Amino acid sequence: MSDTLHYHLEHAGPDRDWIVFIHGAGGSSVTWKHQTKAFQAHYNLMLLDLRDHGLSKDIQPAYGSYSFDIVTDDVLKALDHAGIAKAHFMSLSLGSIILQRLDARRPEMIISMIMVGGVFKADWRINTFAHSGKFLSYFVPFRWIYDGFIIIVMPRKNHAFSRKMYRRQSKKLAPGEFLKWLGLYQDFFSVVRAFYDRQLTRPALLVMGGQDHVFLDAAESYAKKHQPLAEIAVMEDRGHLCNLEDRKAFNKIVLSWLGELEI
């Protein structure tokens, strides 16, 4: 057992900036494998497995329920363990809320934020799933709930690869672990509301799929509200996990944006 998340480091050189990758619920650091290949020549990389995910099993201390402060504490402990004081942060889906909490608690650590399939508001669809998911967990297997959510968020034929990859990775989650993550909905609403209204103080890139029918509208609203520091790149004909669906185009968008920050 360990008290630190499992993480993997790629070193490009002592003079290079760090990028820290935070995956979404049900995923793992494997989610970023196509970004690792493209970014490792330009940046130092840290790829995390969140509590209960990937190789981060039995992280201590154990908790009966989770909050975003608990999972953010895990990330901060791993950063301290690796000696990373400042970095760009890239998050995926629910990982964006962990990044939002990190921004509130340790803003001095963040050079820039890249939020892929980011979550910025709790609309009626998210509210309905969060509350019904908790209710249904008493009656049906958690796998049905998770698979149902994946289909709702990524329903199209061209989203099949993303659905398959997340299903495969999520099989490492035990039922009890899944319910702890599902329980984050109690903390979810206050975190996204505070981030949406708080003044943005560092560059942020929102990369969204044009077919992300659940989260795109709120991302566009956030980018408009927080211009010019917030920018949005919409990948047409792509879904929620656009970094998986079109990795070459995604990598080009993000590397170009990061390069402009350094000019």
| Long-range pairs of 98-102 with CB within 8 A, sequence gap ≥ 24 | 98/22, 98/50, 98/68, 98/71, 98/72, 99/22, 100/191, 100/192, 100/194, 100/195, 101/68, 101/69, 101/72, 101/191, 102/72, 102/75, 102/76
Instruction: Please name the helix (run of DSSP H) or strand (run of DSSP E) that holds residue 7, with its range, or none.
Output: strand 7-10
Pairwise CA distance, residues 142 & 43, whole Å? 38
Residues, the chain? 263
pLDDT in tens, 17-67: 999 999 998 889 999 999 999 999 999 999 999 999 999 998 999 998 999
Where in the chain are the domains?
Answer: 7-262
Mean pLDDT, residues 94-116: 96
Query: Which helix (H) or strand (E) covers residue 220, if one does?
Result: helix 216-225
Tokens of 121: 């508001």
pLDDT of residue 141: 60
Read off the pLDDT of each residue in 139-149 and give the average, rounded to a whole number: 66
Of 45, 54, 44, 46, the C-alpha closest to 2 is 54
What local confidence, expressed as pLDDT, does residue 242 receive?
94
Q: What is the CB-side half-sphere exposure of residue 178 using CA atoms within 13 A?
A: 25
Q: What is the fold, at CATH topology level, of the domain defined by 7-262?
A: Rossmann fold (3.40.50)
In which residue are the tokens 């044009």 written? 210
pLDDT tops 70 at residue 128: no
Residues 253 and 258: their CA atoms lie apart, in Å, by 9
CB 201 within 8 A of CB 107: yes
How much is the pLDDT for 124? 64
pTM recorded for the entire structure: 0.92
Query: Is residue 262 predicted with pLDDT exceeding 90?
Result: no
Nearest to 74 by CA among 94, 92, 56: 56
Band of the pLDDT at 162, cuts 50, 70, 90?
A: confident
CB atoms within 10 A of CB 58: 9
Mean of all residue pLDDT scores within the chain: 89
pLDDT digits (tens, 9 = 90+) for 194-215: 999 999 999 999 999 999 988 9
**pLDDT score, position 126:** 65
